[in-house]
Amino acid sequence: MEKSHPRARCFKMEINRRLFFTAPRMLTMWLLCSLLKDRVGLAQADGNPMSSHLLNGSLGQSLALPVHIPWPDPLILTWDFRSSSTGRKFQICYKARNNPAECSDGFKERFRLNLTDYSLEIQTLMKSDQGWYEVNARSGQDVHVELMELRVYEPVSKPLMQVTSVTQGGICHINLSCSVKRGSNVTYSWWTGGEEVTGDEFHNVTDEGRRLKMFASSNSTSKAYNCTVRNPVSEDTDMIILEPHCEQGKKQEENKKQLHTGLIIAAIAIFTCGLLIMFCVRRKKKHFKLSEARNNEAASEPALYAEIRRSSNARDQSQGHLCQLDTSEKQQGGGVKLTTIYDEIKFNPNTSTPNDSD
């Protein structure tokens, strides 16, 4: 049998001695770590949304936050609330074994602890109730923690649909819009024939699903289209058939054509009337100028005519003629001075011409 070295025996004895004295310390440290682990686990569950489950509530309605406590009568149970808007944490209700449940003043009017299953009941949900709810239950050394997030939504109202359509060349171009008066976090979708409408060569969905632009031929206007609005707590639908609106669009197109034709005819008539009016005005102006010229000529130099009568005596003839002209002048001219005298021209056959003398 091989003998051990004295130094080796001393080293083993030193190790055994240290283990003997450090064992209680290690046990104490293990218990302390276990307690800290429980507390750290609660803190992580309290602040980490991944360890919770989500609940949705309707604004103005009632809701119960369910829990699954593993003991029928826990030693201590508390419900805590952390607001999603402010981040502040409040204790809602507290229940100790063999003691009645107590709820805080700010919550006891609408919050109640159900002692049968320890769920938390909330009456008349408000937007401010959104946040994180944590239940802590203890029974001896065991701890049970559940964390849940509550979101409150306003239910959607009946959707309102508006239609505008234009028919061109037998194709009905339609614009559909869908809206709601009430509702939060609303999503929109369009359906026809049991299938959801998405963007394709015939349909164009825009404005986050609120608007649908499409065109349909004359043999497909009998289709019905549904607008569905929903959020996590409610859903509603409205329907429309294309045919009446496409017929209305066709009538509007015909009315527009008639209106355009009427406008063209009216424009031609107005242009023709304008030309006639211009022609009449110019003709009237021309006639007025001619009349004015004649009046001016008549007023400036009146023409007086008198017949010259000859007597046998040349001297008497000249004097008598002058007297006769003077009398005629006074009668016809009204005192106007005579400026022109005309005489009769007669041919004398006895007078020879230069050609006859040759």
3-state SS, the chain, equals: CCCCCHHHHHHHHHHHHHHHHHHHHHHHHHHHHHHHHHHHHHHHHHHCHHHCEEEEEECCCCEEECCCCCCCCCCEEEEEEEECCCCCEEEEEEEECCCCCEECCCCCCCEEECCCCCCEEECCCCHHHCEEEEEEEEECCEEEEEEEEEEEECCCCCCEEEEEEEEECCEEEEEEEEECCCCCCCEEEEEECCEECCCCCCEEEEHHHCEEEEEECHHHCCCEEEEEEEECCEEEEEEEEHHHHHHHHHHHHHHHHHHHHHHHHHHHHHHHHHHHHHHHHHHHHHHHHHHHHHHHHHHHCCCCCCCCCCCCCHHHHHHHHHHHHHHHHHHHCCCCCCCCCCCCCCCCCCCCCHHHHC
d(CA 112, CA 92): 9
Tell me, what's the pLDDT at 48?
38
Q: Are 235 and 155 in contact (CB under 8 A)?
A: no
Tell me, what's the pLDDT at 348?
63
Name 220's bridge partners.
Answer: none
Interval 292-306: pLDDT, tens: 777 766 666 555 555
Tell me, what's the pLDDT at 281?
84
Per-residue pLDDT for 30 more than 60? no
Give the percent of the chain with pLDDT over 70.
63
Tell me, what's the pLDDT at 351?
60
Instruction: Tell me the average pLDDT across 242-250.
Output: 72
Tell me, what's the pLDDT at 141?
87
Please give the mean pLDDT across all residues of the chain: 76
326 or 295, greater pLDDT? 295
Distances in Å between the Cα of 154 and the Cα atoms of 143, 161, 181 are 36, 20, 11
Per-residue pLDDT for 174 more than 70? yes
Q: Residue type for 319, please?
A: Q
Nearest to 182 by CA among 229, 238, 122, 132: 229
Tell me, what's the pLDDT at 64?
96
Tell me, what's the pLDDT at 247?
76
Interval 44-100: pLDDT, tens: 333 333 457 999 999 999 999 999 999 999 999 999 999 988 889 999 999 999 999
Find all residues with CB under 8 Å of 181, minimum gap 6, and list them. Answer: 157, 160
Give the percent of the chain with pLDDT over 90.
41
Interval 328-348: pLDDT, tens: 544 554 555 555 555 556 666
Tell me, what's the pLDDT at 284?
80
Tell me, what's the pLDDT at 202?
86
166 or 356, greater pLDDT? 166
Per-residue pLDDT for 9 more than 70? no
Structure tokens at 45: 């569950």
φ, ψ at 204 (rounded to 5°)? -140, 110
Q: For each of the domains in the chain, give its residue range(s) and CATH number, in order of start.
A: 45-153 (2.60.40.10), 160-246 (2.60.40.10), 301-346 (no CATH)
Tell me, what's the pLDDT at 204?
93
Most confidently predicted of 118-132, 215-229, 234-248, 281-295: 118-132
Per-residue pLDDT for 131 more than 80? yes
Tell me, what's the pLDDT at 167?
72
Q: How confident is the model at residue 25 (pLDDT cuts 50, 70, 90)?
A: low
